[in-house]
């Protein structure tokens, strides 16, 4: 059974909580309704058990046991909903393969020279054009707009290429 429907004494459905993947706000609303209006709960396979056609036995016309909703009183509904709020210990921990653990190696610590940096997608033609625009007095933002890239991207690409030229 997947859904908990909260039914008022006037037989109106006030809320539905998915028991497999409960959302916190639905559970909190459900607790409020049950406590305030003295509601009952129906655990069933359907979101709207008051309107759904249940699976029935063809010979007798009775609802099949697999489809029969379970009725909960007010206290049982509140206990169930509060247990959903505390949920967490029943979730199973992830299993990590020993082979995956064997592949792990500590990385070098980050330094000024060893930092993860995304390589920009600036072609040498773009860098040459950027150098020309910069020498003409154009701002970084203007260069970025003209070349169709972010200003920081073209600026860092130029700095990196200048650094490579000096060291090479």
Report if residue 103 sits inside a domain. no
Q: Is the pTM of this model over 0.75?
A: no
Report if residue 65 sits inside a domain. yes
Based on the fold, state whether residues 76 and 8 are members of the same structural domain.
Answer: yes
Based on the fold, state whether residues 137 and 80 are members of the same structural domain.
Answer: no
Report if residue 109 sits inside a domain. no
pLDDT digits (tens, 9 = 90+) for 96-151: 899 988 888 888 888 888 888 766 578 899 999 999 999 999 999 999 999 999 99
pLDDT digits (tens, 9 = 90+) for 7-55: 999 999 999 999 998 999 999 999 999 999 999 999 999 999 988 888 8
Based on the fold, state whether residues 64 and 129 are members of the same structural domain.
Answer: no
Report if residue 113 sits inside a domain. no
Domain boundary among 34, 63, 85: 85
Higher-confidence residue of 167 and 54: namely 54
| Number of domains forming the structure of the chain | 2
Higher-confidence residue of 27 and 89: namely 27
Report if residue 116 sits inside a domain. no
Domain boundary among 29, 64, 85: 85
Q: Please tell me the distance from the alpha carbon of residue 162 to that of residue 122, in angstroms, as a whole number.
A: 14
- In terms of residue numbers, what domain contains 32? 3-85
Query: Are the C-beta atoms of residues 78 and 72 closer than 8 Å to each other?
Result: no
Report if residue 93 sits inside a domain. no
Report if residue 137 sits inside a domain. yes
Measured at the CA of 78, the angle between CA 77 and CA 84, to 5 degrees, comes to 90
Q: What is the average pLDDT across 81-95? A: 76
Based on the fold, state whether residues 11 and 77 are members of the same structural domain.
Answer: yes
In the chain, the largest separation of any two C-alpha atoms, in whole Å, equals 91
């Amino acid at each position: 059974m997947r859904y908990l429907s909260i039914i008022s004494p006037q037989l109106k459905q006030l809320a539905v909580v998915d028991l497999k993947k409960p959302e916190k706000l639905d559970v909190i609303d459900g607790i409020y309704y049950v406590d305030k209006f003295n509601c009952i709960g129906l655990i069933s396979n359907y979101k709207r058990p008051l309107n759904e056609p249940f699976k029935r036995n063809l010979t007798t016309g009775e609802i099949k046991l697999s489809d029969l909703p379970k009725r909960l009183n007010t206290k049982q509904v509140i206990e169930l909903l509060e247990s959903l709020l505390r949920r967490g210990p029943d979730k199973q921990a992830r299993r990590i393969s020993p082979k995956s653990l064997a592949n792990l190696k500590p990385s070098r610590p980050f330094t000024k020279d060893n930092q993860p940096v995304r390589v920009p997608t600036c072609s040498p033609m773009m860098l040459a054009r950027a150098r020309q625009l910069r020498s003409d007095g154009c701002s970084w933002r203007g260069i970025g707009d003209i070349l169709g890239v972010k200003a920081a991207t073209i600026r860092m690409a130029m700095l990196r290429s200048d650094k490579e030229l000096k060291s090479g």
